[in-house]
Amino acid sequence: MTEQSVLVTGACGEIGQALVQGLKARNGYRIVTADLAPLPDAIRGLPSEHVQGDLVNRIKQFYDYDFDIIYHLAASLSSKAEVATEEAHRINVEGTMQLLMLAAYKSEKYKKPVRFLFPSSIAAYGMADGNEKKQAGRVKEEDFNSPHTMYGCNKLYCEKLGTYYSRFFGQRHLDSNPPAMLDFRSIRFPGLISAFTLPSGGTSDYGPEMLHAAAQGKPYACFVREDTKISFMAMPDAIKSLLMLSDVPRPALTRQTYNVAAFAIRAGEFRDRAVEAFPGATITFEPNPNRQGIVDSWPEDVDDSRARADWNWQPDYDADTFFEDYFLPGIRKRYGR
Ligand code: AKB
């Protein structure tokens, strides 16, 4: 069987590293990675080629390739994007737009849809206030699409851009014999947590940051309130969902953007687990108003019934197995605790 050509942008990030490892383990792919950074040790030697540089500035170079699948992970996350909003928009929107245009061009040229996997986020939701967040509980994809952050606006808009380029580009869908268009598929991820990489730039990062600090015997001042609740997921489940969605035959899909869920917990439960695993851990709660405002605008949890119905999604890790079987063993090994 000929290898499928795959591009992974943002390959040096937390999702990127785990995805490259997951793709390599499956065999059958020629992997090209792209990132501003050089390949980290964890994935060095896995891709056939690594393109280091700014995606927007280097996009022309990718026209020399013929990718079957693109996993576009490059992004500026929510907290960082609130500080550098224009740069976030350039990376999150212009970068995605350029890559969608490339995939649309290649799909039409070779009469074969390029599969385009896009990680959206719970940041695409916007709850008006704490009462609405509490009352809404597990939200569906079409609910509360009014993000409060640059990152959330970017993600929601790029979901729409992906639908445009895969269904309506140039109004070609009205032609008597419409050309092949790209095959856009998107997942709204909760706060993702890896036991093997460090979080950066996210607002959901307080969970993993707390455990990393406790495992090193360092004090940690949590930047959100103890009662803050959002949904989280183990990185292996995030990779599983991306690969499952990528494999699904197009006719089985009833939508282009799906929620996935695993477990929703309060910041206080991360503290409880940290203190139980690392007695003596010093954890305080010192809310940062801006970052608290971001997570308060995100739903407590999401309804992933569509993903379960359309492509048999279900997570492998709930909160207990996440901590006991995945995260704490990984943290202990990393810090020798
Ligand atoms: C962030 O915190 O910005 C991300 C996300 C929830 O999309 N981890």
- For the whole model, what pTM was predicted? 0.97
Q: Mean pLDDT of all residues in the chain?
A: 97
Residue 55 lies in a domain: no
**Which residue has the CA at smallest separation from atom 1 of ligand 1?**
202
Residue 58 lies in a domain: no
Residue 220 lies in a domain: no
pLDDT for the residue 1: 75
Residue 51 lies in a domain: no
- Per-residue pLDDT reduced to its tens digit, 79-137: 999 999 999 999 999 999 999 999 999 999 999 999 999 999 999 999 999 999 999 99
Mutate to test the pocket of ligand 1, among 78, 148, 197, 298 (most ligand atoms within 8 A of CB): 78
- Per-residue pLDDT reduced to its tens digit, 26-64: 989 999 999 999 999 999 999 999 999 999 999 999 999
Name the residue with tokens 């801006």: 290
Residue 214 lies in a domain: no
123 Cα: distance to centroid of ligand 1 (angstroms): 7
Residue 322 lies in a domain: no
Give how many domains the chain has, as a whole number.
1
pLDDT for the residue 9: 98
- Per-residue pLDDT reduced to its tens digit, 156-210: 999 999 999 999 999 999 999 999 999 999 999 999 999 999 998 999 999 999 9
Closest atom of ligand 1 to CA, residue 121: 7
**Which residue has the CA at smallest separation from atom 6 of ligand 1?**
191
Residue 53 lies in a domain: no
81 Cα: distance to centroid of ligand 1 (angstroms): 11
pLDDT grade for 228, boundaries at 50, 70 and 90: very high
Domain that holds residue 95: 75-198+233-262+301-316
**Ligand 1, pocket residues at CB < 6 Å:** 77-78, 121-123, 151, 189, 191, 202-204
- Domain harbouring 96, CATH code: 3.40.50.720
% residues pLDDT > 70 (the chain): 100
- Per-residue pLDDT reduced to its tens digit, 294-316: 999 999 999 999 999 999 999 99
Closest atom of ligand 1 to CA, residue 155: 7
Residue 242 lies in a domain: yes
